[in-house]
């Protein structure tokens, strides 16, 4: 019996099923770059069957989202952190000393 | 007179003009306040030393920030133990014995209790901005310094991958593996923080 492309693809991928260590690596990798078809398919096959890795994928997406918020906060012009007056004076003193030495 | 001569630096007013901005920038990348202050001081002194190299291609603040960025990465680099060869992690290998089972029939699968506990990493909408910042900074500080440097450059400063590889002398494969390891640990740390 002649096997269809989808069937042959399923056999090919099932022979190459990946474990959680590789799946979590691919979850991280896809945050930064596009996965090739084989890797994409391997990851999705794994995710269909692994609840922990689905949770992991969801958490990694949330981590990226939290970092977006964090980046926004720490790059704000109205900054949250201020140099203490003592540190400011100390740095200014040091800078002035260096300037005078030149 | 060259075109660049019109761009002059004004070191006398750096602390007043950029002190808070640079401190905020540093404090968003290192958790220790004193270390952030030292980094700002080192930045101003390095800028003063290298002021002849300022060509006016960017604003004074951008130029100072670029020096600070380098200082922050160097501070993580210095913390990095020389026991672990240079900056590179194992090429292309994603396996991490801290989280996955070794060579048994379930090799490569999550170790008992080491996988994620819930779909949600942080309680959405419940964390105050300041609390979130504290958690993130604290978890970054708990990363190995080499992972922290890569994580900050890629995830917070959004630097280009090629630039990071060049700066840290690592290959793209090293970079992806290190980012993966950093995310694994950040996820673990953040989950533990809000669960406890």
Strand intervals (E) in B54-133:
none
pLDDT for residue B89 is more than 80: no
Can you give A85-96 as a three-state secondary structure string?
A: HHHHHHHHHHHH
- Rounded to whole angstroms, how far apart are CA atoms B153 and B141? 14
pLDDT in the model for residue B91? 43
**Cβ neighbours of residue B141 closer than 8 Å, sequence gap 6 or more:** B30, B31, B32, B148
Q: How many CA atoms lie within 13 A of B118 on its CB side?
A: 11
Sign of CA dihedral B143, A88, A80, A77: negative
**Max alpha carbon distance in chain A (Å)?**
90
Average predicted confidence (pLDDT) for chain A: 85
pLDDT for residue A80 is more than 80: no
pLDDT digits (tens, 9 = 90+) for B101-141: 877 666 788 888 888 888 777 766 656 666 777 888 889 98
- B contact test, residue of A33, A68, A87, A98 with most B CBs within 10 A: A87
Average predicted confidence (pLDDT) for chain B: 81
- Rounded to whole angstroms, how far apart are CA atoms B92 and B184? 16
- Is the distance from CB of B100 to CB of A19 less than 8 angstroms? yes
Angle of CA points B113, B118, B119, to nearest 5°: 135
B positions 166-185 inside 8 Å of A (CB): 176-177, 179-180, 183-184
pLDDT in the model for residue A20? 92
Q: Is A79 on the interface with B (CB under 8 A)?
A: yes
- Is the distance from CB of B73 to CB of B29 less than 8 angstroms? no
Q: Which residue of B has its CA nearest to A79?
A: B24
Among A32, A58, A80, select the one facing B179 at the smallest CB separation: A32
ipTM for the predicted complex comes to 0.78
Q: Is A16 on the interface with B (CB under 8 A)?
A: no
Cα distance between the two ends of chain A:
88
Which sequence spans correspond to the domains of chain A? Answer: 5-101
Q: How many CA atoms lie within 13 A of B102 on its CB side?
A: 2
Which sequence spans correspond to the domains of chain B? Answer: 3-79, 83-196
Residue B7's nearest CA partner among B46, B78, B62, B77 is: B62
Among A28, A74, A92, select the one facing B180 at the smallest CB separation: A28
- Is the distance from CB of B55 to CB of B7 less than 8 angstroms? yes
CATH number of B83-196: 1.10.10.10
**Range B3-79: architecture per CATH:** Orthogonal Bundle (1.10)
**Cβ neighbours of residue B95 closer than 8 Å, sequence gap 6 or more:** A21, B108
pLDDT in the model for residue B157? 86
pLDDT in the model for residue B95? 59
B positions 52-81 inside 8 Å of A (CB): none
Contacting residues of B for A56, CB less than 8 Å apart: 115-116, 187
Query: DSSP assignment, residue B110?
Result: B
**Cβ neighbours of residue B79 closer than 8 Å, sequence gap 6 or more:** B145
Confidence (pTM): 0.78
What is the arithmetic mean of pLDDT over B47-66? 87
Q: Which residue of B has its CA nearest to A26?
A: B180
């Amino acid at each position: 019996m002649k096997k269809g492309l989808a069937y042959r693809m399923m056999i090919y991928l099932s022979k190459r099923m990946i474990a959680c260590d590789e799946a979590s690596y691919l979850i991280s990798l896809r945050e930064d770059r596009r996965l090739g078809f084989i890797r994409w398919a391997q990851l999705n096959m794994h995710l269909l069957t692994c609840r922990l890795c689905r949770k992991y994928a969801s958490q990694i997406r949330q981590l990226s989202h939290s970092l977006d918020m964090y980046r926004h906060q720490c790059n704000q012009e109205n900054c949250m952190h201020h140099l203490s007056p003592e540190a400011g004076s100390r740095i200014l003193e040091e800078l002035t000393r260096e300037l005078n030495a030149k | 007179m060259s075109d660049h001569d019109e761009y002059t630096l004004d070191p006398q007013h750096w602390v007043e003009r950029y002190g808070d901005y640079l401190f905020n920038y540093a404090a968003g990348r290192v958790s220790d306040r004193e270390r952030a202050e030292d980094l700002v001081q080192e930045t101003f002194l390095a800028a003063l030393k290298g002021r002849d190299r300022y060509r006016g291609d960017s604003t004074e603040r951008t130029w100072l920030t670029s020096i600070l960025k380098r200082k922050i990465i160097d501070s993580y680099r210095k913390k990095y133990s020389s026991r672990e060869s240079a900056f590179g992690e194992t090429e292309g290998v994603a396996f991490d014995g801290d989280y996955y089972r070794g060579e048994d029939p379930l090799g490569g699968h999550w170790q008992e209790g080491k996988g994620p506990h819930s779909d949600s990493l942080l309680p959405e909408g419940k964390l105050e901005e300041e609390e979130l910042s504290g958690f993130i900074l604290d978890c970054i500080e708990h990363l190995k310094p080499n992972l922290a440097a890569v994580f900050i450059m890629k995830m917070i400063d959004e630097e280009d991958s090629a630039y990071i590889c060049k700066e840290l002398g690592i290959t793209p494969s090293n970079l992806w593996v290190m980012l993966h390891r950093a995310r694994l640990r950040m996820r673990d740390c953040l989950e533990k923080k809000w669960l406890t």
